[in-house]
Amino acid sequence: MTQDVLTFVEGSLGRIRLNRPKAIHALTRDMCVAISRALLDWIADPAVEAVVIDHAEGRGFCAGGDVVALARSGAADGREAADFFFDEYRLNHLLFAYPKCTVAIMDGITMGGGVGIALPCDVRIATEATRLAMPETGIGLFPDVGGGWYLSRLPGRVGQFMALTGARLDGAECKYLGLATHYVAQASLPDLMERLKAAPARAAGAAGNFAEKEPAARIEQNLPAIAKLFAADTLEDVIAALEADGGDWAQTELGTIRTKSPLSCKVSLRLLKEGAARESFADEMRAEFALARNVVRTHDFVEGVRALLIDKDNKPDWQPPVPEAVLDETLDALFAEEPGEEWTPFPEIA
C-alpha cells in the first residue's frame, strides 16, 4: 500500500489526497492503482455519497506523471511505461464514468496527469493559485490522459493552442473556458471541505456557496488571434500563419512552438483532430494508449526528458528537427494499435 496517496472516508465523503509533495504529487503507477481501488470499492458502498480529490502539503495539485521513470522504460523495452499508461488511463476513464459525484480541487500546479484526474470530475474547483497546462510537447510526448477529448472540445482552437505551446492557464482562465466549474479563493478551501464533509450529496451546491466572481480571463483578449492563427490542422500551416501575422503575440507563440518537438506537435494536432470525432471517452483512451506505448519509445521522448528534467540543459536534439521532415508514415506507425495490446476499461465501469 503506497503512502504517496491517502484514501479514506470521512462521514459519507470519500477522500483521495495526493501525498507526494517533493514531486508535486506526480503520479506513479502505484498511486493510480490505489486511487482506482478506492474508487471501485466506494461504488458499491452506499455509505459513500461523493468523492473529493485534493492534495496534501506542497505547492500544487499534481504536476503530471513520473515521466523520468517512463523515459527510462522507453529507452529499454517500454514495458513498464505501457503498464503505467494502461493503469493511468483506466483511472481516467473510471473517473469519467463514475456514478457518484466527484470533486477535484485544482489548487496550484495542475498539469499533465493532474489534468487527467481533475477534468473528468463533476465539480472542478480552481483558485487564484491554479496553473493548468498540458506541456507534453516540450518533452517529446503529447497531451494524453484524455487530452484528445478535452482539448479538442474547447472553443475556438484553444485546445490546439494549449497543445502546441504548453500555455499555462490561471484559475480565472480555467473558469472562463469551462475547465473549472467554480472559482474559490484558497482561503475558503478549509471551510468548503467542512461543508463537503457535512453534506456530500450537495457537493455542487457547497462549491457554489463558496465560489466568488473570478477576475477577468486574460486569454479572452487573445481568442480571436488563437482562432485565426491556430485554425489549421497541420503544423506547417500554423507556423506559416504565425510568421505571416508578425505581431508581438504571434511572434512570442511562434518562438515557443519552435522549442517543442516537431514530432510531438504533429502527433498532438492529429490526436485532437481525431479526438473531436470520437464517440466515447473509452474510444479516446484506447487510441491514446496505442499512441502512448509507441511515443514513449521514440528518440524525442527520451531526449526531451533528458534535456528538460534529467540533465536540465534545456537543449533537446529533436529528430527530425523540422516539421517538414516528420513524415505521415511515421505518424501512421505511432497511431497504430498493436494486436493483443489493446487498452480496456475496468469491467465494473465499461
Which phi and psi angles does 178 have, rounded to 5°? 85, 5
Question: Of 49, 54, 107, 136, which residue is the catalytic one?
Answer: 136
Under 8 Å between Cβ of 268 and 143: yes
Comparing CA positions, the residue from 120, 117, 121, 219 lying closest to residue 168 is 219
Report the residue count for the chain: 350
DSSP per-residue letters across 207-251: HHHH--PPPPPGGGGGHHHHHHHT--SSHHHHHHHHHHH--HHHH
Q: Residue 27 and residue 62: Cα distance in Å, rounded?
A: 7
CA distance 188 to 180: 16
Do 111 and 64 contact (CB within 8 A), yes or no? Answer: yes
Cα separation of 16 and 90, whole Å?
17
Catalytic residue chosen out of the listed positions 113, 116, 138, 146: 113
Cell 474547483 appears where? 125
CA nearest 140: which of 315, 291, 262, 312?
Answer: 262
Give Cα 279 distance to the centre of its chain. 20
Helix (H, G, I), strand (E, B) or coil at 9: strand
Residue 128 among the catalytic residues:
no
DSSP assignments along 22-70, one per residue? GGTT-B-HHHHHHHHHHHHHHHT-TT--EEEEEE-SSSEEE--B-HHHH
Query: Is 113 a residue of the active site?
Result: yes
Question: Choosing from 58, 60, 64, 65, which is the catalytic residue?
Answer: 65
C-alpha closest to that of 318 among 294, 296, 301, 343: 301
Question: Hey, which residues are catalytic here?
Answer: 65, 113, 136, 144
